[in-house]
Amino acid sequence: MEGDRTDKKDTSSFNTWKDIIIPGNVDDRMTKTEDNLVRPLPLSKRRYLANYLGRAQGKVGRLQLIELAKQFPDKLESPELKFSGPDKLGRIEYFEHLRNAKFCLAPQLPFQNVLDYRQISIKWPSTRIGPQMLEYLESIPDEDIERMINRGRQLRCLWVYAPESEPCSALRGILWELQRKVRHFHQSAETFWLHNGSLVNRNLVEFSHWKPPMLLP
């Protein structure tokens, strides 16, 4: 499993075939409106065009982002993350970095089988990381960025580890992703198939028609 913050190892152990991506364990008070431990900045007040708060872990795309930040330090922020010692990046400092850029670059995102990320993000080919990417991001009007941010706020519940009573939470999203993986296997006690080869669940609902257990905006 891999969260929104890269793990502490020098190489990634994430395996697409058997693992899922989960949100990092972030204190809900960091972003929740009524608590406001870290207040969001207006787009006009944000210093950077984009930032990348992650480690290279030997991944070509990540290494390219770090090098790109060195070439364009006024546009792309990519600080070296410390996990121990006096320079360790705390939760509040982490969010203070995030809020200071119009775009936050992430190599992997959770719940891709649940959310339509086209509404809240941009997917850019890792083979084209370079000045062209920054030029494209600069060309996007602030109104469009605000629209994406507002849509993201409506879905923020999937990044919060809320109590079980909450209808939408990170835990519910994780369980949904795990159920999908388990039911892909024919030996699963929850997987059945019909004469035409279609996979169904115990309610005889075809796999392609399953819906997430939580209500989404």
Residue 185 binned pLDDT confidence (cut-offs 50, 70, 90): low
CA 34 vs CA 38, 147, 197: distances in Å = 11, 22, 51
144: three-class secondary structure by DSSP: helix
- pLDDT over 50 (residue 57): yes
Give the mean pLDDT of 82-101.
82
Which range of 41-45, 91-95, 173-177 scores highest in mean pLDDT? It is 41-45
**pLDDT for position 214:** 57
Helices (H), the chain: 60-71, 91-98, 131-139, 142-154, 170-184
Residue 186: count of CB within 10 angstroms of its CB: 9
Residue 163: count of CB within 10 angstroms of its CB: 7
Q: Is the pTM of this model over 0.85?
A: no
- pLDDT over 90 (residue 13): no
> How is the chain split among helix, strand and coil, in percent rounded to 5?
35, 10, 55
Residue 133 binned pLDDT confidence (cut-offs 50, 70, 90): very high
Domain ranges of the chain: 28-110+116-154, 158-217
**Rg (Cα) of the chain, in Å, rounded?**
19
Residue 6 binned pLDDT confidence (cut-offs 50, 70, 90): very low
φ, ψ dihedrals at 145, nearest 5°: -65, -45
Residues 30, 92: contact at Cβ < 8 Å?
yes
**pLDDT for position 27:** 60
Give the mean pLDDT of 146-153.
93
pLDDT above 90 covers a percentage of the chain that reads 29
